[in-house]
Structure 1
Amino acid sequence: MPSTLTIAQLNNNPSPRRIIIVGGGIVGAALAFHLSKAESENHIILIDKSLDTLLGSTGHAPGFVGQLNESPVLTRLAKDTVQDYLTVPGGFETVGGLELSSTPSGLETLERRQRIAQEAGLPAELLTPEAAASLAPDFIDANSIKHCLNFPSDGTANAGVITSYYVDQARARGVDFLEAAVTGFATKKEKETSNIAAIKTASGDINSEGSTVILATGIWTSSLISNGSTPVTQLPIPVVPVAHPYTFTPLRTRRVGTPYPFVRWLDHHVYARDHGDRDGLGSYDHPPMQLDPTKSAIGAWPSSFDQVLSDACSNLKNKTEFQVQGQNTDPEEPWVANKPFNGIFSVTPDNLPFAGRVPDVANLWLAAAIWVTTAAGTAKLLAREILGDDENSTNSEDKALLDALNPARFRGVEADLLLRQSLSKYNDIYNRET
């Protein structure tokens, strides 16, 4: 998709009603879409370094949308997200989600999660091992598990399809798109706060005085905010990029009948899904690895991930079909689709996104560390808060969500502690220990 304007055109036609979204993955696209739905005079511009290829985490996300999280905030956002994805043609498939365990403590976890789900208005039922295996017979050996919890309203999202839909709809409503690599920001001090006065790009600076600037920049958020030796904000914004192994079976003929549900082996931090023409598998069962991504969200392949995937595959009935050997160790080499890869994503100290205004930078908002699971719900929440008119005003529930996602919530906490807390969350993605 080509740009619809140039930097020169932006700078020659300043507007006090300008909203600039940096980042064109599923979060930035959802923001552009939902902001553009309002009847307003806002000029919305989305900037990304590649308008044709999804270089961030959206491009390789496994796509499972499990609505229940032990954080009520994430559950609310995921439920709102599913409602939005269901309106996107080909965007969401309600295949369900299974959680498996073979231990007494695992049964306690599943029973607790069933109660929490019911309180949140989500269907959840305990199944026998045989019933679980019948839903995904190539994945599950009934003799190897003892307990199963089924979430029938969960499903899989096609992040690429959803992002394209949001982009097309936003473009039809007058949103402009600019392909440019954002490299940093110039700020201007004003009394107790500062402002983003210019957005620096590899193609030139964009005058952003008077504009609302939203960073939907995923794994690159912290590096952009650090802004070299001059941080944009004095607040800690710990969005920590981490490595994650994911693999596939070779391409195959699609199965006949109902697609498999997404399956998670809770005791082993392993998950698998049916991609239609192949199966996929990922694992969190390894020490967290912090990374510093540059060009894309595909990282170099650590040799230790071969063993991680081999161990993970042992939990599946079709264990021998999965590829476990990584393809290269050079992040500059092109990624080969349908092979094991290191997919980078973000973690935070509490596994919650950053969504809201940055209090010491008057015109800066964050929409960062947001998964496909909660992308649309968070985008709608932020759109209501940014627009702030009678039709789109936030309510008390919105305000509670925004308080929980406040970019200032780690004010005063040491950076080293925040980093350790973030990395520790990698092995507890679903907040079961909260």
Structure 2
Amino acid sequence: MQSTVSISDLNANPSSQRIFIVGGGIVGAALAFYLSKANNDHHIVLLDRSLQKLQGSTGHAPGFVGQLNESPVLTRLAQDTVAEYVSIPGGFNTVGGLELASTPAGVQTLQSRCEKALAAGLSAGMITPKEAAALAPDFIDPETVTTALHFPSDGTANAQVITSYFTQEARAQGVDFLETAVTGFAKKDGNEERAGEIAAIRTANGDISLAGSTVILATGIWTSSITGSPGQDKEASITKFPVPIIPVAHPYTFTGPRPARGGKPYPFVRWPEHHVYARDHGDRDGLGSYDHAPLELSPGHTAIGAWPSSFDQVLSEATSHLKNGRAFLAQGQEDDSDPFEVKAPFNGIFSVTPDNLPLAGRVSDVTNLWLCAAIWVTTAAGTAKLIAREVLGGSQGGISAGDEEVLKALDPERFQGVEAEVLTTQALERYNNIYNKETTS
């Protein structure tokens, strides 16, 4: 997609009715879509450094949408998200999800999760190892499994197809798109009686004067670097509140190409006891692992980082849990090729937070700033739709009591008063517990 507006055009027609979305991944595109669907007079502009190719986490997300989470807030957002994805042509495949257990503690965990799923209105049931293996025979050896939990309504989302759909529909509704790299912001500081304000968006191609316009950051792994941190010099930080969105490394790999399997597609399979998951990509299989010490990164221009040599052993161990584990590539390469494009092992950077919840909502000390970040594909549409309603003051159908509860849980200011080092430590600890067993939000 080409830009539909220029910086000079925007500066020649200032208006407080504009909404600038920074970030064109699945969250930013969804925001543009839902904001543009409302009957309002806002001029919506989406900015991204690349309108041709997705460079953030959306571009390489494994795509699994498991709706049950130990956090009721995330369960609600995932259910809302699936309700949106199923209406997008080619966007969602209801293949189901499987979780496997081999130990008494693992069995107890799955039984508890089954009860919680049913209480949340999700379809779920315990099945035998033989039944599980029949659903994904190349992945599962029934002799290594004690029990399994099946979620029939879960599935895989094609994040690139969904993002393209949201983008095209938003453009048809009059949203403008501008390809430029956002490098920072110019601020008007507040005082004891009034909050501060973002006066301009700084880009590699010049400043965009805001004239009171609203800014929503859907910047994923780059959010903390673009907002700055309290404690840095005043110019570097646009809010006094901490923004603990921590980019981390994550290994993912593939098998070599193969003919597409016949019959019903495999469900997405997870081995929670081993922090491993696998899926059928159609012409090959994919596998990822969280079974390693968390690695915090400073991302460059894309969400694919350099390959740590330690990930070779991580993948080697991860593949041992699959029946067809030997078919997976486990040795990463350091060369100039894009490992995701060639379907080789790659380091896919994504965000963690201290409580595994997104940071989404208004930032109170900056009158025209909103965050909508640290959001996985699993909850992208549900979160974006909710924030769009909130930004527009409820004009998309109002804010219910349930919405208010979710918004409170996602409040970007909820970490106020906690030291940055503590927040980073808490966020990194979440990496090894990515299935959220201990989340209590």
Paired position in structure 2 for 1:272: 278
Give the CA deviation at 1:337: 2.4
Match of 1:215 in 2: 217
Change (3 A) 1:391 1:382: closer
What is the correspondence of 1:388-427 to structure 2 with a 5 Å cutoff?
388-427=393-432
Structure 2: gaps (5+ residues): none
* Structure-2 change in CA distance of 1:62 and 1:363 (3 Å): same
Q: In structure 2, what residue type is equivalent to 1:142?
A: P
Say which SS state the counterpart of residue 193 (structure 1) adopts: coil
Give the 3-state SS of the residue equivalent to 1:178 in structure 2: strand
Using structure 2 for the length normalisation, give the TM-score: 0.96
Q: Match of 2:297?
A: 291
Counterpart contact for 2:362–2:369, Cα < 8 Å: yes
1:108-257 to structure 2, matched below 5 A, reads: 108-191=108-191, 192-226=194-228, 229=233, 230-257=236-263
Pick from 307, 310, 315: which aligns with 2:316? Answer: 310
SS in 1 for 2:216: strand
1:33-86 CA-to-partner distances (Å, cap 9, x unmatched) read 000000111000000000010000000000000000000000000000000000
Report the residue type matching 2:16 in the other structure. P
Find the aligned partners of 2:399 and 2:107 in 1 and give their Cα distance. 39
Inter-partner Cα distance in structure 2 for 1:239 and 1:71: 18
Q: Which residue of 2 aligns with 1:36?
A: 36
| CA deviation vs aligned residue, 1:132-170 (integer Å, no higher than 9, x gap) | 000000000000111100000000000000000000000
Q: Aligned partners of 2:211 and 2:126: how far apart in 1? A: 55
Contact 1:81/1:374 (<8 A) preserved: yes
Structure 1 residues 307-316 or 384-393, which shifts more? Answer: 384-393
Please say which of residues 128-137 and 334-343 is displaced more in the overlay: 334-343
2:188–2:196 Cα contact (<8 Å) kept? yes
| Percent of aligned positions that are identical | 65
Residue matched to 1:51: 51
Q: CA deviation at 1:334?
A: 3.8
- 1:209 shift after superposition: 2.6
Q: CA deviation at 1:388?
A: 1.3
Cα deviation 1:399-429 (Å, max 9, x = unaligned)? 1000000000000001110000000000111
Contact 2:389 2:395 in 1 (8 A): no
- 2: distance between equivalents of 1:207 and 1:277? 48
For these two proteins, the number of residue pairs brought into alignment is: 432
CA deviation after TM superposition for structure 1 residue 333, in Å = 5.6
| Residues 385 and 392, structure 1, Cα contact 8 Å, conserved in 2 | no
Does the 8 A contact of 1:219 with 1:345 survive in 2? Answer: yes
Residue of structure 1 in register with 2:381 after alignment: 376
Task: Note the C-alpha offset of 1:390.
Answer: 4.7
What corresponds to 2:91 in structure 1?
A: 91
Q: Helix, strand or coil for the counterpart of 1:190?
A: coil
| Partner Cα distance (2:337, 2:256) in 1 | 21
Q: What residue identity is the alignment partner of 1:352? A: L
Residue pair 2:140, 2:322 contacting (<8 A) in 1 also: yes
For 2:196 and 2:337, locate their aligned partners in 1 and report how far apart those are by CA, in whole Å. Answer: 40
Cα distance in structure 2, aligned partners of 1:214 and 1:267:
38
- CA–CA distance in structure 1, aligned partners of residues 405 and 332 of structure 2: 43
**Once superposed, which parts of structure 1, at least 4 consecutive aligned residues long, lie more than 3 Å away?**
332-336
Q: Distance in 2 between matches of 1:23 and 1:382?
A: 15
SS in 2 for 1:373: helix
Structure 1 CA distance, aligned partners of 2:322 and 2:211?
A: 55
- How far apart, CA to CA, are the structure 2 residues paired with 1:250 and 1:381? 40
| Displacement after TM superposition at 1:433 (Å) | 1.6
Matches of 2:396 and 2:429, distance apart in 1: 41
**Normalised by the size of structure 1, how large is the TM-score?**
0.98
What's the counterpart of residue 368 of structure 2?
A: 363
RMSD: 1.1
Distance 2:324 2:394 in 1: 54
Report the Cα offset of residue 340 of structure 1: 0.3
Unpaired runs of 5+ residues, structure 1, are: none
- Are the structure 2 counterparts of residues 253 and 358 from structure 1 closer, same or farther at C-alpha, using a change threshold of 3 Å? same
For the pair 1:338 / 2:340, whether they are aligned, the reply is: no
Measured after TM superposition, the shift of residue 114 of structure 1 is 0.5
Is the CA contact 2:38–2:395 (under 8 Å) kept in the aligned structure 1? no
User: Is the counterpart of residue 102 in structure 1 residue 102 in structure 2?
Assistant: yes
Instruction: Show CA shifts across 1:238-270 (max 9, x none).
Output: 000000000000111100011100000011000
Amino acid of the residue matched to residue 394 of structure 1?
A: I
2:432 is paired with a residue whose SS is helix
The code of the aligned residue for 1:76 comes to R
Offset at residue 233 of structure 1 (A): 0.4
Look up the match of 1:72: 72
Give the secondary structure class of the aligned counterpart of 1:323: coil
Deviation string 1:347-398 (CA, Å, 9 cap, x unpaired) is 0000000000011111000000000000000001001111114553211111
Aligned equivalents of 1:250 and 1:203: distance in 2? 42
1:24 alignment counterpart: 24
